[in-house]
Structure 1
């Protein structure tokens, strides 16, 4: 097996290893002559011209412009577009889930055919809830076998949803790149993923990846609660290092949506309800992952969901028909654009429009992937976005809201004319090929899309070396130094909201009963905290009656988004997995109430009746018991601030305007205020 022609030594945390750079930076020597680019290759031959080496990607024994790393990316991309067949271009414009061998992470792999094989167009057009079917117990996410994807469908964009070890992940990424290199024009692959570095309550394929070997930080709301932009940038840079080490070079994240509808099932993935805070956060995250511009050390980000999906009707999500309407009762459509303006200014590589459509606005009531005025007049012209428009997963076959009556071919045509460059969720390019053949006037739009997608790959340095060093990946991902930074973030994300009678920090030698109440399907919800290494100057007891102080950490869990059935959504605790009667029984002693917020929960059911015994209230957004105890005992002083308002009651949440942040809802809405949180005790 051939390797890169210029191996380098890396000293990483005291460990020296030899590996090939996964990036290509063309530099000049003292004489002004360009230095040889580092080339990673497996099966192709090298061509030597003018004393330089190049990869013969199309295996024609000649140096083509797109293979010449000395030329500008624009020249190389245009040359490659001219060489690609219609079938290659169509495959290049699709991105879908890819599987590792024996990967059951998102369904039941039966064969190498797409999951949607055997569904005729009538099935796809008549399914009301296209993301799931009653005869299946897993989401439909179209996927083909990897070899068929590459060699049969000419695909070069892949969504990785599996969660293997760093070693397996890096080896698989290299094998995928070797397969791409061996086929046709030798165009490298681009591996994308949802978030892999957060504690999350609603773990679901298509939203995030569950507990992983990657360094774990608080949830996105927790990062926003820190109000520490320098640490946010550091978080993103750590993620970048881990992802590039594993060969994942594109992120389907982060959400620039605003959490203005407290019932929405995707609030957990946002940076809160305030447009300026969300804008600041998205900017730092993009700079941390991409740098000042996309380069060979970057992870290219896809900011979502344009033009903001938080103003959903009733909190329902447009993955389902009952959540397809986005309602701007407060007239704050423009407020949703503020974080996207920041993302564009920061250079985000891609932007993803959502499935929903706007109601009672000046815009057409069709899903944003089909909404030409939204994508061309607003995103392209007014906001000046020049990057890739990447559809969300499945707007053609599964969630075609507003265009349900169109055929698949007609949907492709409308989405292409609206400006979509990359279609997510479809494995087989057959219908896209049929569309282009039927409407040859779309060819210019297709070529423009392929050009943009090639530019991203060239900017990432993948044409020169898409391979990673497996040994380095195992050392980089989840290393101890990264974990120290994550531990700091865990603590800085915690918000102290109430501290009556100065109960915090608890006094030394106090007897503490620490219960973690997390409703899990089929399991006992409560866990009493136990540890063999008590580093806190308190005594842990096993029952509330033995305690001086009850420390109760509630982790409410709303209905998982993909378990949605269209029934009304609520933010009170009783409807989100908490046995209020039980909780009220154990708060008879002085209590420190800690609530994990994935939505702006209303806690009146507990707080009103126990306001005399609940002496302190803290908010978490995905953290660890150890971090909570550090705040409670004074080992770490609280500094976090709320990323959203919480309603006084569930009734208040039911009556709010979906596009209006809680702090603008008016007097009587807020219980905890946006930005509330004590510095110290």
Structure 2
């Protein structure tokens, strides 16, 4: 009996050994596709590897058969302190002719060559007050790679897929010539959404990528499957041009209606936002980072929504967040979902908490928030990426510290990589002075390298420049985007049963005067009258309201750019946001009118003649064609409001900044979170 058991045990052990050996052998035999320009190839046992450090030997970090942990440790052991510190800076990078980073610069032709110009922005662009050092800087590309050892970049240029792909390959080829051949990772702000405020740092605006609703519109769809499909599509487009990291998305909650960044959120509800963020992360990254992933940077921890008076912490007058409703934990829900989904990075906001239970320093300096809460309690193991410029631009709560002391405090709090500058000299000085130990620096480098190894950049950072234009914005992708654009529109009122518009008779279509009112400050006339390019089956679009059976009026209010803030009280009434209310009310009284309002903020609409405004639609970044399909009934409205809209300016002033509109006092909302009708 004992011998039988012994034989059985030996057989199980032998089987396990054979299985393990076959698994290892299978792994060894899986030769990845290697992308290279100048590096020599090493052949070992019939397999190929890149000799990135040019020493003629196969180093562990070059050996794709080994675990990422082994490769990371080997590479860190070979990096100089200067190379490590350069690795902890993420800097704006530019193409030749790209002036997107420069305020009021002349726009020229963008090419795939390098921009070798060093650039320093004025030091009072955001804060309106001088600070000890310049705020934002960008190094000439070759200097940044070879002298500053930068390997993390933010691309803000808006150009063709072909040019972006060619430039990305040029960048990686330059990195390959460096001492250790470490590839770069290029990040971007959102590129796929229809948005009103496309300021640098918020969104790239209208691009060659597939077009989808704004983030609020994505939430209004209430379609998690389509949200995942969006992220998977966008990931294919981004990867095709060499963008492998997203400076997005915002897990912040739109609980303070005056906050100017509401447009970039998924609304006010923590559960909906959590679901959206989960699908976004899984769609862009997959269940784990791989060679087809785009790594996500979820922001702005622990939630940038509850700003005092809605002022933004890019500015001295908006430096504080507060929690008058005691709902700090509520704002953590979307970040918990992002962590569970595996988000690669998390970005803290500039704000300092105006709360006696927390240290009154910006969240990038706040050890209790980053280390104790985010790392230890919530279990986040990824990269902590500072927002752009907390060191020398928005150092809220630590203004009296020197720059090296600010770096010391931020690193001690848990920050791994700093955005906003290009020259790592002062960060290097912080280490050389002994204010930060090399062991702590290695922790950050390990996290940053792990992302690169998992994305497969060490094996192949290059893209197919011929395939990129065929992938980006292709018709199949846009077909999905067009569906989303329609699903994002919300029908709020249809009291007169005016919608859907049908033909008057078989011989006569309904005559519609379609006017868009948008005062963007760039055109002499805010009124645009729709001129169709083809015949609609049930609607005839006319040139004047006098000819019309009905009026379609699309209002696009604008609170101005985030960065145009002057610290004045924020009002949400239409007349305060570039809408001529008298003109609107005259139209409403003249004919049965469909009022569509584009919501980038929870506008207060009580200046409208609400007695005669019986048909109301909400849009969140969509197209004319999508809106026409809704009013004609070609597509039935299905959208639901992603936030509540206050009934008056007084309700706005009395709101609790951390409390979602649907949990504010009774009578707060004119249109509630979740409102939405259909036909």
- TM, length-normalised to structure 1: 0.92
**Residue 560 of structure 1: aligned partner:** 561
Note the alpha carbon deviations across 1:546-600, whole angstroms, 9 max, x for none: 1110110001001210101101111110000101111111111111110000001
**1:349–1:456 contact (8 Å) kept in structure 2:** yes
State the alpha-carbon separation in 1 of the partners of residues 26 and 146 from structure 2.
Answer: 43
- 2:361 aligns to what SS in structure 1? coil
Aligned-pair CA distance for 1:141: 2.8
Per-residue displacement from partner, 1:22-77 (whole Å, max 9, x unpaired)?
A: xxxxx979967522111000001011112211000000001100000000001101
Residue 80 of structure 2 is aligned to residue 85 of structure 1: yes
Shift of 1:406: 0.6
| Match in the other structure for 1:604 | 606
Distance of aligned partners of 1:392 and 1:210 in 2 relative to their CA distance in 1, 3 Å threshold:
same
Per the alignment, do residues 522 and 67 of structure 1 end up closer, same or farther by CA in structure 2, a change over 3 Å counting? closer
Paired residue secondary structure (2:669):
coil
Q: Which position in structure 2 is the counterpart of 1:297?
A: 292
**How many Å separate the matches in 1 of 2:642 and 2:325?**
20
For residue 22 of structure 1, what is the aligned residue in structure 2? none
Match of 1:528 in 2: 529
Residue 24 of structure 1 corresponds to: none
Q: Is it true that 1:513 corresponds to 2:513 in the alignment?
A: yes
- Give the alignment of 1:201-350 within 5 angstroms: 201-350=196-345
Q: Could you tell me how far apart the structure 2 residues matched to 1:114 and 1:280 are?
A: 42
Aligned equivalent of 2:448, options 448, 453, 460: 453
Helix, strand or coil at the partner of 2:608: helix
Q: CA deviation at 1:364?
A: 0.4
Cα distance in structure 1, aligned partners of 2:437 and 2:387: 21
Conserved? CA contact 2:27–2:65, under 8 Å: no
SS of 1:635's equivalent? coil
Does the residue aligned with 2:515 lie in a helix, a strand or coil? Answer: strand
Name the counterpart of 2:546: 545
Work out whether residues 135 and 421 of structure 2, in 8 Å CA contact, stay in contact via their aligned partners in 1.
Answer: no
Following superposition of structure 1 onto structure 2, how do residues 583-598 of structure 1 map, counting pairs within 5 Å? 583-588=584-589, 589-598=591-600
Describe the superposition over 1:320-342 as per-residue Cα deviations: whole angstroms up to 9, x where unpaired: 11111001111111111000000
Pairing of 1:573-588 with structure 2 (within 5 A): 573-588=574-589
Distance 1:478 1:212 in 2: 9
Question: Given the alignment of the two structures, is residue 663 of structure 1 paired with residue 658 of structure 2, yes or no?
Answer: no
Give unpaired runs (5+ residues) of structure 2. 1-21, 107-114, 504-508
The C-alpha deviation readout for 1:75-106, integer Å capped at 9, x for no partner, is: 10111111100100000000010010111112
8 A contact 1:114–1:428 mirrored in 2: no
Number of aligned residue pairs: give it. Answer: 640
Cα distance change of structure 1 residues 283 and 31 upon mapping to structure 2, 3 Å threshold: closer
* Alpha-carbon separation, structure 2, partners of 1:344 and 1:607: 46
Question: 1:31 and 1:369 mapped to 2: Cα distance?
Answer: 44
Q: Deviations over 1:378-434 (max 9, x none)?
A: 000110000000000001110100001111100000001000001011100000000
Query: 8 Å contact 2:246–2:297 — kept in the other structure?
Result: yes
Would the aligned equivalents of 1:65 and 1:75 in 2 still touch at CA under 8 Å?
A: yes
Q: What is aligned with 1:184?
A: 179
Q: Is the 8 A contact 2:574 2:603 kept in 1?
A: yes
Pick one of 21, 30, 36 that aligns with 1:41: 36
Report 1:52-451 matches (<5 A): 52-107=47-102, 112=116, 114-116=118-120, 130=126, 141-439=136-434, 441-451=436-446
2:638 matches 1:639: yes
Moved more, 433-442 or 470-479: 433-442
Structure-2 separation of matches of 1:607 and 1:188: 59
Q: Work out the CA distance in 2 between the residues paired with 1:633 and 1:97.
A: 45
Instruction: Map Cα deviations across residues 187-223 of structure 1 (whole Å, 9 max, x no partner).
Output: 0000000000000001100111021000010000000
Residue 468 (1) aligns with residue 470 (2): no
Q: What is the CA-CA distance between 1:107 and the residue it aligns to? A: 0.5
The alpha-carbon deviation at position 545 of structure 1 amounts to: 1.4
CA contact (8 A) 2:384 2:417 kept: yes
Contact residue 301 and residue 348 of structure 1 kept, 8 A:
yes
Contact 2:345 2:384 in 1 (8 A): yes
Report SS of the residue matched to 1:637.
coil
Query: C-alpha distance in 1, partners of 2:376/2:31?
Result: 40
Whole-angstrom CA distance in 2 between matches of 1:30 and 1:331: 57
Q: CA deviation at 1:445?
A: 1.2
Deviation at 1:113, TM superposition (A): 5.8
Partner SS for 1:471: coil
CA–CA distance in structure 1, aligned partners of residues 651 and 580 of structure 2: 21
Deviation at 1:536, TM superposition (A): 3.9
Q: Which residue of 2 aligns with 1:20?
A: none
Gap change, CA 1:29 and 1:353, over 3 Å in 2: closer
In the alignment, the residues of structure 2 paired with residue 543 and residue 130 of structure 1 have an alpha-carbon distance, to the nearest angstrom, of 44
- Do the aligned partners of 1:327 and 1:360 also contact (CA within 8 Å) in 2? yes
Deviates more, 1:531-540 or 1:498-507: 531-540
* Cα distance in structure 2, aligned partners of 1:132 and 1:441: 31
Matched position secondary structure for 1:470: coil
Q: Report if aligned partners of 2:259, 2:305 keep a CA contact under 8 Å in 1.
A: yes
For residues 649 and 76 of structure 1, do their structure 2 counterparts lie closer, same or farther at Cα, with a shift above 3 Å needed? Answer: same
The root-mean-square deviation of aligned C-alpha atoms, in Å, is 1.8
Find the aligned partners of 1:187 and 1:33 in 2 and give their Cα distance: 23
Whole-Å Cα distance in 1 between the matches of residues 188 and 172 of structure 2?
16
Separation of aligned partners in 2, 1:251 and 1:669 = 36
**Residues of 1 paired with 2:560 and 2:334: CA distance?**
27
Q: Runs (4+) of structure 1 moved beyond 4 Å? A: 27-33, 108-114, 129-135
Q: Is the 8 A contact 1:114 1:427 kept in 2?
A: no
Instruction: Provide the residue aligned with 1:17 in structure 2.
Output: none
Q: 1:55 to 1:335 in 2, by over 3 A?
A: same
2:10 alignment partner in structure 1: none
Instruction: Tell me which moved more, 519-528 or 245-254.
Output: 519-528
How far is the alpha carbon of 1:164 from its aligned partner?
A: 1.2
Unaligned runs of 5+ in 1: 1-26
User: CA offsets, 1:279-330, max 9 Å, x none?
Assistant: 0000000000000011111000000000000000111110111111001111
Per-residue CA deviation, residues 133-184 of structure 1 (Å, 9 max, x unaligned), is: 799xxx9531011101000100000000001100000000000000001011
Specify the alignment match of 1:8 in structure 2.
Answer: none
State how far apart, in whole Å, the 2-side matches of 1:406 and 1:342 are. Answer: 35
